[in-house]
Structure 1
Amino acid sequence: MTEKTKILVEGALFAALATLLSVVIPNVEWGDLSLGLIPLVLYSVRRGVRMGLLAGLLWGLLIIVSGHAYILNIWQGLLEYPVANLLVGLAGLYTPAVQRAIQAGERKKERILLLAAVVTAIFLKYFVHFIAGIIFWGSYVQWGLGPILYSLVVNGGSFILNIVVTGGLLLAMTARDTRLLLPQNK
């Protein structure tokens, strides 16, 4: 198997794991704990933007074909699944800096950069959900709030929750051993 094929298979496995983790805790109408972010951010930081975007796109498509997507219409479905999850791959923007920090033994810098990757990826995902909430979910508003405020509350809360969980778990997973962030190409 070629190196490129191995990297693609690794991405497909991470996307499949993200899909499985995404359905473990079902969404509720007021929020979203997306455990699938953990493997997708990890893969994106390991392999970079291009592979991260591809794995994120696959994750979004797998959620749709697995029947776990909440789809009102084609545009909302495309925006909230393939597009939102594709953007998680932009955590890979931090790949070179994270890997340089690890190789230089700069643990504090590596952890800060990893958290920056987490925040960037999750912000982009939930910004898309925020926009979709205003455009597509406005008629489902509760608590007497308007569509903008309701979408901000729901998606802002999900954003914070996912940063805490994803950031905390990735920091814990890489605390003693950073090999998860450094691919071994052989």
Structure 2
Amino acid sequence: MTPTQAFIEYFIAFTFVGFSGLFARLVKENLKENLKGRALFWVVIAIFVGSIARYFWHFVAGVIFFKSYAIEAGKSPFIFSLITNGTTFFFTALGCAIVLVLLIGRAPQLITSANRNEGNK
């Protein structure tokens, strides 16, 4: 692993997971209004948006840094990275979605109680 690859795969890729935060307001508002189904829908959307943003950078790094492995396997670097990183993306996003839906579904106060004092500021 080179410093450039580490920077892309660990700093940039995981920073892009933050795009899931774009949906935080929707999740919180729906939980406050007792619309748990809608809130969980937005949680799943947020997870997939953050995961896709992260996956993009892993895909790019895969094409650049694992080109020789792809060629050895007789595949295009694009296809190799798409399949390898795409599989990881899918199962990671699915696992996160399952865990968060179960967790927030049973304990929505984990999201709403931390923000109880927002209106008092």
The interval holding the TM-score normalised by the smaller chain is 0.7 to 0.9
Q: Quick check: which one's helix share is greater?
A: 2
Distance in 1 separating the partners of 2:22 and 2:14: 15
Distance in 2 separating the partners of 1:101 and 1:143: 48
Runs of 4+ in 1 over 3 A off after TM superposition: none
Larger Rg: 2
- How is 1:1-186 mapped onto 2 (pairs within 5 angstroms)? 72-141=1-70, 143-182=73-112, 183-184=114-115
RMSD: 1.4
Which amino acid is 2:63 matched to? I
**Secondary structure of 1:174 counterpart:** helix
**Secondary structure of 1:145 counterpart:** coil
1:60-98 CA distance string (max 9 Å, x none):
xxxxxxxxxxxx222211111011111112211111111
Aligned to 1:13: none
Distance in 2 separating the partners of 1:127 and 1:164: 17
TM-score between the two structures when normalised by the length of structure 1: 0.58
Q: How far does residue 102 in structure 1 lie from its aligned partner after superposition?
A: 0.6
Structure 2: give runs of 5+ residues left out of the alignment. Answer: none
Indicate the structure whose relative CO is greater, using CA pairs within 8 Å and at least 6 residues apart.
Answer: 2
- Aligned identity (percent) is 26
Distance in 1 separating the partners of 2:109 and 2:56: 31
Which amino acid is 1:100 matched to? E
Distance in 1 separating the partners of 2:73 and 2:66: 14
Which amino acid is 1:166 matched to? C
